[in-house]
Chains A and B, each alone.
Chain A
């Protein structure tokens, strides 16, 4: 399973490196969301600082949908979809590999967004371990849930419009817990921020386990 996961992740990342969709579309989209939400809030610096964690996570969530759509699109053709099913790769390995590839892209995206809120909103992370832990846990949860719902919508003609409807409500706990954990990290309040990790941990674990178990049947159904 791990060999398969590494193989699939390597394949997806290589395709992404060549296609540069993440670089030229997902990252600019995330930065655009950051800037537009900042415009919507207005020029008041205090309001912007207060809203910075929420804006960060909203931008990340919307961009996650794009990254998942791209991950699904790689095998959207009949040839590649059948090819992957016939490849002999363990479906759990496919799930882990695709989630790892999406997760890695989300981590890079978060670094960009982190730099973005630091520059645009003049905020500083005071509890770095809390922000990093929240981001890592959220990345696992977002990538696993995203790839799972991506598989669910893969065979549908309306997958591009259906996927956000399916996945955004599911990812709402990550938005809430991530925002609160980052708010605490920005304010230097490690104790209250740590509480929100208790939401992110089970979310990540549940979707990791459910994905490993259900990805195969979902792939067949799609």
Chain B
């Protein structure tokens, strides 16, 4: 991870912290229940219909329902303030929303970066992926909406596989791959997981819209070597992988689309595999970091 990226992410979380402070300051936290609300509007008279006393007797109320924990007017399970302490940030006891508010949370210390856990096997305070230098994707960092990798090259790789596997809608794989793991990508991952289970009924994985170890492994299972490395001259050498099908080209030949690169070396012990990179695009095989190097960059 570069310092630039570190600074960018630090700024992101500082902004979140500032937003949290603002919301807490105006009473948007979960600690207030609708019935016990006070005159948060300042000077007005709180009534059952106008609980914040701002003269708008309804859902414009900044604290109109305790189920809207983060005060964003969306009362559902996606609230930022999962532990309901009114602080919408890394101080949350259960920031990953897995229902276990404890040390297994990705951001246990609230520094904005996910620590290594069972569900997030490679995270650390710097947000790097130092362990993911082997051939497996199952040790890649877990990716989901709103976590530290939700706008990253990890997300880009995920999008490539799910799109080429038939999920999500766009005019092309490059058009689909923006690296932002939002609502649409989460749904496409959910569809991918569902389809994987249909094809592998005895090896079903959890359908949760998140990319953890087992989903990473399932994504990697979709890859096929479409352009084997030619071990001539000086390296580096790359096996080119794609996800052949209707959307992303045939399994071989000139029309095969290379989306991932697996770097290899050849020595006395045979072939060694050094990790994975993305191609810059479906028609540009320039290597871009994926599970090696910084995953926080952008695809373009």
* Real binding pair: no
A binding-site residues for B, Cβ under 8 Å: none
